[in-house]
Amino acid sequence: MWRVKVLVQAALARLPGGEKINYMLQRLRGSAAPARLAAHAISIIRELNEVNRFVRLQGARVVEIGTGCEAPAPLCLHVMGAQSICTYDHVRHLRHGMALKFLDAVYANLDEIAAITSISRNTLRERLLQLKSAPDVEALLDRAGISYMAPADAAHTALQDKSVDLIYSRETLEHVSEDFVGPLTDECRRILRPGGIAFHSIALGDHFATKNHVNFLRYPQWLWDLLVKNKIAYQNRLREKHFVEIFRNHGAEVQIVSHEVHPEDVKVLKTMTVDKRFAGMTPEELAVCWTLIAVSF
């Protein structure tokens, strides 16, 4: 099944209209199911509530990286009071219908979100109703204070120096070329105001696997690039340690590193032969399947 998933997405990435076909297949697999969207929304809200401890979201100027089909993070940032959000994506994924379905899921969980954020239910309700009534994607973006830049390069924003309070990415940096992470960090340093911070939530596990999070570490880099280096399915396989090193090498001060490791993945790695690029790393380092890294400059 792992190979089937990889080969299907590799083929779609090379077909005209492959991105639209992949979108439809994801929908058939339940990507727009209300329960999934609700869980996703609450997860983002919880994470942003932690971010709010370091950078006040009310009135904040934010750069978000990796908009997606539903624009979940930009919409949640607006709901939590951000003044303006510039969001960047390498492909124009955003779809009005999907964004509305996501907002429906947020609205259905108002009480829980109010409890998490300490924002009044009435304030949340008013913000959401204004967004939900938007007749098209342009109106939705305008009402949310979102500037949607796609296709665009978040490492070259053209924003003014020291003009941004927060840079946020969620489940995005695992999908970019590793050559992009350094220039992105340089851009973060340029546009963040003094006291600003960049939060990167990164899903490091094998997105194609079902039995463990580390299966993809066994494949040689040349084969991985051949199969997976495409605009739909690319995953760079960088580990948490690599990201921390890149951030530091580009002048960042690492403020937070919080991660998740599953013991069963460590056990698998102790008997699995991994690609030579991971030589010298411990099973515990390789097994990090999710990390939140916050940096300042």
Does residue 166 form part of some domain? yes
What is the pLDDT at residue 24? 60
Is residue 251 in a domain? Answer: yes
Measured distance CA(157)–CA(155) in Å, rounded: 6
Residue 191 lies in a domain: yes
Residue 85 main-chain phi, psi, to 5 deg: -135, 120
Domain count, the chain: 1
User: Do the domain assignments include residue 288?
Assistant: yes
Residue 188 lies in a domain: yes
- Model pLDDT, residue 211: 83
CATH of the domain at 74: 3.40.50.150
For the chain, give the DSSP string: -HHHHHHHHHHHHTSTTHHHHHHHHHHHTTTT-HHHHHHHHHHHHHHHHHHTTTS--TT-EEEEE---SS-HHHHHHHHTT-SEEEEE-SS----HHHHHHHHHHHHTTHHHHHHHH---HHHHHHHHHHHHT-SSHHHHHHHHTEEEE-S--TT---PPTT-EEEEEEES-GGGS-HHHHHHHHHHHHHHEEEEEEEEEEEE-S-TT-SS-S-GGGGS-HHHHHHHH-STTT------HHHHHHHHHHTTPEEEEEEEEE-HHHHHHHTTS---GGGTT--HHHHTEEEEEEEEE-
pLDDT for residue 227: 79
How far apart (Å, rounded) are the C-alpha atoms in residues 242 and 222?
A: 19
Is 282 a member of any domain?
yes
CA distance 131 to 177: 33
Any domain includes 223: yes
Q: Which residues of the chain have pLDDT under 70?
A: 1-32, 230-233
**Which residue range(s) make up the domain with 71?**
46-96+136-296
269 domain residue, yes or no: yes
